[in-house]
Amino acid sequence: MRAALASAPPERARARARHGPPPDRPAAPAPGVAAADPAARGRRRLCCRACGAVIARPEDAIAVGGAHSHHVFNPAGIVFHIGCFRDAPGVRAVGPRTGRFTWFRGYDWVVTACGTCARHLGWMYHAIADTAPATFQALVLDRLVETGGDDGGDDGDDAGG
């Protein structure tokens, strides 16, 4: 008789290790992500009230002659509430440069209009001498409307006119 090789595999109680601990990585809170996101809040823009074209950015507001906004009147007696900005990419200069009746001593001015609908929006000032800033924009504030947060360069292509 041959002794049969007892090849019965040993009963191994296999512990099923399927429920291992999940590979959790510690979620470190990023210090920059806060409720107040300055990048999102800085997207406000000043737009032409007549046509909606983007004219300037509120963060470009500057003080000239000690203040940002001024109440001024022209020789015809029309009062304007203007605000000073270092730049206003949405306007274009129209007409000649002159220093007559200037509201800012030491500056010449040129009338500016909306680059889209040509409505008069303000004046661009040029320093005559070595005055800072060398140039700035004065915009009639009630001819602008401030818009918030929406980004995406929509060219408001309204056939309105």
Binding site for Zn ion (CB under 5 A): 48, 50-51, 53, 114, 116-117
* Closer of 64 and 114 to Zn ion (Cβ): 114
| Positive or negative torsion for Cα 139, 141, 144, 150 | positive
* C-alpha pair distances (Å), 49 with each of 46, 54, 133, 142: 9, 10, 27, 8
C-alpha atoms less than 13 angstroms from C-alpha of 108 in its C-beta half-sphere: 11
Shortest Å distance, C-beta 52 to Zn ion: 7
> Does residue 82 contact residue 122 with C-beta atoms inside 8 Å?
yes
Cβ within 8 Å of residue 91, ≥6 positions away: 55, 56, 112, 113, 114, 115, 121, 122, 124, 137, 139
Q: Between 127 and 145, whose beta carbon lies closer to Zn ion?
A: 145
Q: Are 96 and 123 in contact (CB under 8 A)?
A: no
Closest separation between CB of residue 49 and Zn ion, Å? 8
> How near is the Cβ of 119 to Zn ion at its closest, in Å?
5
CB of 108 or CB of 116, closer to Zn ion: 116
Q: How far is the CB of 67 from Zn ion (least distance, A)?
A: 26
| Of 56 and 114, CB closest to Zn ion | 114
